[in-house]
């Protein structure tokens, strides 16, 4: 590869740093500013990478990505989001700042001020995620690209404001790294910078676009830094005081829809679905936050906004997964469905999920609607027939559906990949592509046999899909990962998708020659949304064939995105029956458990049926899961953090404020809200709380559920500070003026508590109800508006006030951590070791052979690097353990070759306490 760069050009900095960080084998060619660029429209300072194939890359970011890809580092959704943010937000601003520095002579501090919000954004994201680098604990292409854009403007971390401490640490770490330091020394030479300045002086001043409005894409967005206090205007204060004075009259009347809930002309009609959970298992905390709990929180918010809302879900009961579970448990598929549907129903009831209807897919309506969509696709020429090579188990005398096959993933070599999708890399697989396939029923080796199947002609439907996607993206809120995953599918080119399977348990295919087959679950399952609604109301078409009046929100984890953004919409578009298509696709990343993954078989992690046995109330679980909802990247459940958040945010912050506000009314004013005479300080507090309320609405309207929760906690912090500064418990003992002040502070505080009860309802419905009962909040006040109003006026009587939360003790948490921790690390290492070939060669090693010692030394180094790479990429623990065992075996052989006694070696990784 030949890399052409020009000294002095800022773009060369990131490219050289990326080449160094990725150890890319490039031949460097330094070009001058007057040389003709390789690309006709590129500026003379633009770098270019000429590949051995003759292809030339001109985009600096594309070159950086290529270097990291060549090293085997696949981009994550988060690195792609950072690169998009850098290209669209940071790079234009940094270019303008550098122009101002070099051409207009602006000082560095002025440039930093121009980048203020962008720098605060990086600081906030690094702080919030608690990681050393932008996309995790290891350096990625995102770090190199963002650093390369900032360094020419900032030069070193001392030019950054002292309050941006986390950003300073990151910037210093990047600057001191060998790759970045060498790149800076090579590119930013004084003579070259003078030439670059001369070039800039001949160019027009760059125009910087104005700040964009709140958006759901990409996830890292420009926000106020946490803890910052924007200045209040007189208009904001006046408006807040006016809204407060209007009281309950300013609130809309709560909307009570008729049953069943149906679309209403002239209202905002919101249809919410969460991905249908498989009926063959018990959902763990990650499943719960990824789908039903997130959707429930948003549905509750919608109802509080008086939006006409229907929330449906149910168990996905057809397909291979059910047949597999039935075989495992010695039951029929129907018995398995009945058993696990009841388990799911109980779990969601305990978590207080407010479905309007929770159904199932094994119903006559499912058969009727799925077959109708199929017939319409067939009649319109969107189905194909083809012969498929499929695995057949000769011992079981049956074709093996995807989930009856297990083997090694052809993409990432994960040894326990399913026949339809790899759980490790997430790629979709055809079962015949698996290496070393095994029948899950008898562990026999299946053979490949041809069989006829039907396919959805996705390439033919693409011309309908793409304009619909563009419109949905332009008008709706799709999370960044949903857009990225969908774009990847479109970019790679759509291929016909098989929609039939050789199974018995499923919706029958109504076509001669295929009547012994059923629909593939990913054609059939999303239709469950429609059939479940049909079981709720026979007027289901008013929701599902009414795109003019209905807004559809789909909630899911990111692995479900392609089926909801490509395959299901193509089915409905092809059916051509005015179906309601998704407007807002909300996908989460994954929730992990402590330092690993949930595993029912190993007893690792908390599953839905276990949560209620911990003694921790459902609302605490809801709060914590929503607090760490994986909105932009994977997050991890932590027992220590659960205890910390419960004791600090709930007990000491939110609960403390609401309890004190209510207790002051009872203790000092006989249970009656006192008269209030507002001071300028009180009026500013009303405006501050109103701003937080507006932010809460803006975030929830964009389905930024986790961030909106911070607004609630911020309001209670304002309330605690307000009480502490004004000390009503002291003023109540003073003169008339002091007692009046105590009354005002108590009255304002208890009204803040009343508003918090409403804001909290989507997150913690039982706690919200308890506050409503304790403060005797009128039902007509349980509606969300954009104004902080006085809902508990002077003379209002409150009830008995008691603490809302209990402290979680360290011993209690440690006992739960141990209970849900599964097997000990040494036990878990046995399984991969058992899979290894017995190391007979160990006894044959001849000590003192220099060539053998050299070979083994190189093998140990190579395997050690491989293990470190796996750990850096956060590979599956089982895969890491397997490679560690290989490393230890190689070290043992090396010790024998060197004539040493091979001590028993053990992994030196982190161990659970």
Reduced 3-state DSSP string for 598-635: CECCCCECCEHHHHHHHCCCHHHHHHHHHHCCCCCCCE
Q: What is the pLDDT of residue 400?
A: 81
Residue 74 has pLDDT above 50, yes or no: yes
- In this structure, are residues 26 and 66 in contact, taking their beta carbons and an 8 Å threshold? no
Least confident of 113-117, 591-595, 707-711, 778-782: 113-117
Residue 563 clears pLDDT 70, i.e. is over it: yes
- Sorting pLDDT into bands at 50, 70 and 90, what band is 651? very high
Burial (CB count within 10 angstroms: exposed 0-12, middle 13-18, buried 19+), residue 342: exposed
pLDDT surpassing 90 at residue 313: yes
Token pair in block for residue 223? 């926000």
Q: State residue 221's pLDDT score.
A: 33
Whether the pLDDT of residue 226 is over 60: the answer is no
Contact call for residues 300 and 761 (beta carbons, < 8 A): yes
Task: Tell me what pLDDT residue 321 has.
Answer: 81
Q: What is the mean pLDDT of the chain?
A: 84
What was the pLDDT predicted at 212? 35
Q: Which two structure tokens, joined as six digits, stand for 620?
A: 């605490």
Distance CA 426, CA 412 (A): 10
Is the per-residue pLDDT at 461 higher than 50? Answer: yes
Residue 828, pLDDT > 70, answer no
For residue 206, name the pLDDT band (cuts at 50, 70, 90).
low
Task: Report how far residue 4's alpha carbon sits from residue 29's, in angstroms, rounded to the nearest whole number.
Answer: 5
Residue with the bigger pLDDT between 59 and 274: it is 274
User: Can you say how many angstroms the Cα of residue 304 is from the centroid of all Cα atoms in its chain?
Assistant: 25
How many other CB atoms sit within 10 Å of the CB of residue 861? 11
pLDDT for the residue 913:
36
pLDDT (0 to 100) of residue 213: 35
Residue 198, SS3 per DSSP: helix
Q: Residue 254 pLDDT more than 70?
A: yes
Q: Find, among 43, 132, 129, 125, the residue nearest to 85 by Cα.
A: 125
| CB of 277 closer than 8 Å to CB of 360 | no
- Residues whose CB is less than 8 angstroms from the CB of residue 626 and which lie 6 or more positions away in sequence, other chains included: 289, 293, 294, 297, 705, 706, 709, 763
Phi, psi of 765 (to 5 degrees): -65, -35
**pLDDT band, residue 843 (cuts 50/70/90):** very low
User: Long-range contact list for 734-743, CB < 8 A, 24+ apart?
Assistant: 740/675, 740/677, 742/664, 742/668, 742/674, 743/669, 743/674, 743/675, 743/676
| pLDDT given for residue 130 in this prediction | 77
Residue 380: which residues within 8 A CB-CB, separation 6 or more? 574, 575, 576
Question: Of residues 219 and 25, which shows the higher confidence score?
Answer: 25
Q: Where are the beta strands (DSSP E) in 191-326?
A: 269-274, 308-315
Per-residue model confidence as pLDDT tens digits over 480-501: 889 989 988 888 789 999 999 8
Dump the DSSP string for 70-118.
HTT-PPPHHHHHHHHHIIIIIHHHHHHHHHHHHTT---HHHHHHHTHHH
Confidence (pLDDT) at 100: 76
pLDDT at 393 over 60: yes
Least confident interval from 256-270, 648-662, 820-834 = 820-834
pLDDT band at 906 (very low <50, low <70, confident <90, very high): very low
Per-residue confidence (pLDDT) for residue 391, from 0 to 100: 87
Q: Which of 75-89, 191-205, 406-420, 899-913 has the highest mean pLDDT?
A: 406-420
Of 683, 711, 714, nearest to 698 by C-alpha is: 711
Q: Do 419 and 429 contact (CB within 8 A), yes or no?
A: yes
Average the pLDDT over 407-421 and give the result: 87
Q: Residues 6-46: pLDDT tens digits?
A: 776 778 888 999 999 988 888 888 776 555 554 444 455 57
Confidence (pLDDT) at 1:
82
Question: Does residue 332 sit in helix, strand or coil?
Answer: coil
Whether residue 223 is predicted with pLDDT greater than 60 in this model: the reply is no
Does pLDDT of 864 surpass 80?
no
Q: What would the mean pLDDT of 710-723 be, rounded to a whole number?
A: 96
Q: Quote the pLDDT of residue 587.
A: 95
Name 360's bridge partners. Answer: 315
Q: pLDDT of 166-201, one tens digit each?
A: 888 888 889 888 898 888 888 776 665 566 666 555
In sequence order, the 6+-apart residues with CB closer than 8 A to the CB of 116 are none
Mean pLDDT for the stretch of residues 555-561: 94
pLDDT digits (tens, 9 = 90+) for 765-809: 999 999 999 999 999 999 999 999 999 999 999 999 999 999 999
Of the chain, the percentage scoring pLDDT greater than 70 comes to: 84
| Confidence at 331, pLDDT banded by 50, 70, 90 | very high
Query: What is the mean predicted confidence (pLDDT) over 394-411?
Result: 83
CB environment 345-376: b (16+ within 10 A), e (fewer):
bebbeebbbbbbbbbbbbbebbbebbbebbeb
pTM of the model: 0.68
Give the whole-angstrom CA distance, residue 747 versus residue 741.
Answer: 10
Buried b (16+ CB within 10 A) or exposed e, 692-714: bbebbbbbbbbbbbbbbbbbbbb
């Amino acid at each position: 590869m030949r890399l052409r760069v020009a000294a002095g050009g800022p773009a060369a900095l990131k490219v050289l740093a990326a080449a160094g960080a990725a150890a890319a084998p490039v031949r460097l060619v330094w070009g001058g500013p007057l040389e003709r660029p390789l690309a006709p429209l590129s500026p003379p300072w633009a770098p270019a990478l000429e590949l051995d194939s003759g292809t030339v890359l001109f985009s600096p970011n594309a070159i950086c990505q290529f270097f990291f890809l060549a090293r085997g580092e696949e981009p994550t959704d988060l690195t792609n989001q950072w690169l998009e943010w850098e290209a669209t937000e940071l790079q234009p601003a940094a270019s303008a700042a550098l122009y101002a520095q070099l051409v207009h002579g602006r000082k560095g501090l002025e440039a930093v001020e121009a980048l203020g919000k962008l720098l605060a954004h990086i600081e906030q994201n690094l702080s919030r995620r608690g990681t050393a680098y932008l996309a995790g604990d290891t350096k990625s292409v995102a770090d190199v690209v963002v650093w390369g854009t900032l360094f020419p403007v900032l030069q070193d971390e001392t030019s950054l404001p002292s309050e941006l401490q986390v950003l300073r640490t990151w910037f210093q770490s990047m600057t001191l790294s060998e790759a970045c330091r060498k790149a800076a020394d090579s590119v930013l030479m004084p003579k070259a910078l003078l030439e670059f300045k001369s070039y800039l002086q001949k160019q027009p001043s760059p125009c910087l676009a104005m700040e964009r409005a709140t958006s759901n894409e990409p996830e890292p967005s420009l926000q106020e830094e946490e803890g910052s206090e924007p200045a209040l205007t007189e208009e904001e204060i006046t408006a807040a005081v006016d809204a407060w004075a209007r009281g309950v009259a300013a609130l809309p009347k709560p909307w009570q829809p008729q049953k069943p809930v149906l679309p209403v002309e002239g209202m905002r009609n919101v249809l919410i679905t969460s991905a249908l959970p498989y009926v063959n298992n018990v959902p763990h905390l990650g499943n719960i936050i990824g789908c039903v709990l997130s959707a429930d929180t948003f549905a509750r918010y919608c109802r509080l906004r008086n939006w006409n809302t229907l929330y449906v879900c149910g168990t996905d009961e057809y397909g291979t997964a059910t047949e597999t579970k039935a075989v495992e448990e010695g039951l029929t598929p129907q018995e398995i469905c009945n058993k696990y549907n009841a388990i799911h129903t109980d779990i969601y009831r305990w978590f207080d999920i407010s479905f309007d209807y929770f159904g199932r897919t094994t119903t006559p309506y499912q058969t009727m609607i799925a077959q109708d969509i199929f017939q319409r696709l067939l009649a319109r020429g969107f189905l194909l027939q083809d012969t498929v090579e499929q695995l057949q188990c000769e011992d079981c005398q049956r074709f093996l559906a995807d989930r009856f096959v297990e083997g090694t993933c052809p993409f990432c070599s994960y040894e326990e990949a399913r026949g339809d999708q790899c759980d490790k890399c997430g790629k979709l697989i055809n079962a015949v592509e698996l290496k070393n396939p095994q029948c899950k029923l008898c562990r026999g080796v299946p053979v490949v046999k041809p069989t006829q199947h039907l396919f959805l002609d996705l390439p033919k439907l693409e011309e309908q899909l793409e304009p619909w996607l563009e419109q949905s993206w332009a008008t709706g809120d799709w999370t960044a990962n949903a857009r990225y995953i969908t774009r990847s599918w479109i970019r790679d080119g759509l291929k016909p998708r098989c929609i039939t399977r050789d199974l018995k348990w499923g919706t029958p295919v109504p076509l001669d020659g295929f009547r012994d087959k059923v629909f593939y679950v990913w054609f059939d399952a999303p239709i469950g949304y429609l059939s479940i609604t049909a079981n709720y109301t026979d007027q289901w078409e008013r929701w599902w064939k009414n795109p003019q009046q209905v807004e559809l929100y789909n909630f899911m984890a990111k692995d479900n995105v392609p089926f909801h953004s490509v395959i299901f919409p193509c089915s409905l578009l092809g059916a051509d029956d005015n179906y309601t298509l998704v407007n807002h696709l909300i996908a989460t990343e994954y929730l992990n458990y402590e330092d690993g993954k949930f595993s029912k078989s190993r007893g690792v992690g908390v599953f839905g049926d276990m949560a209620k046995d911990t003694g921790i109330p459902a609302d605490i679980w809801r709060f914590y899961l929503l607090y760490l909802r994986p909105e932009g990247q994977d997050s991890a459940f932590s027992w220590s953090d659960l205890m910390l958040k419960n004791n600090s945010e709930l007990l000491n912050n939110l609960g403390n404020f609401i309890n004190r506000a209510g207790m002051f009314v009872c203790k000092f004013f006989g249970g009656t809200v006192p008269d209030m005479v507002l001071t300028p300080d009180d009026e500013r507090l009303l405006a501050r709380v109103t701003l937080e309320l507006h932010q809460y609405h803006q975030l929830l309207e964009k389905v930024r559920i986790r961030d909106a929760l911070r607004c609630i906690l911020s309001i209670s912090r304002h309330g605690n500070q307000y009480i502490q500064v004004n000390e009503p418990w002291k003023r109540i003992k003073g003169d008339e003026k002091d007692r009046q002040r105590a009354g005002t502070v108590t009255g304002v505080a208890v009204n803040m508590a009343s508003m918090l009860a409403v804001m909290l309802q989507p997150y913690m419905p039982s706690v919200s109800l308890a506050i409503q009962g304790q403060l005797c909040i009128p039902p007509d006040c349980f509606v969300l508006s954009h104004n902080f109003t006085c809902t508990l006026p002077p003379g209002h009587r409150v009830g008995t006030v008691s603490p809302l939360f209990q402290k979680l003790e360290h011993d209690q948490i440690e006992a739960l951590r141990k209970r849900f921790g599964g097997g000990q690390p040494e036990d878990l290492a046995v399984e991969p070791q058992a899979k290894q070939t017995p190391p007979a060669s160990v006894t044959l090693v001849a000590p003192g052979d220099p060539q053998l010692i050299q070979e083994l030394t190189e093998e140990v180094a190579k395997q050690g690097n491989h293990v470190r790479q796996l750990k850096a990429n956060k590979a599956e623990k089982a895969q890491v353990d397997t490679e560690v065992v290989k490393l230890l075996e190689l070290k043992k052989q090396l010790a024998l070759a060197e004539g040493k006694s091979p001590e028993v070696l053990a992994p030196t990784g982190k161990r659970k306490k």
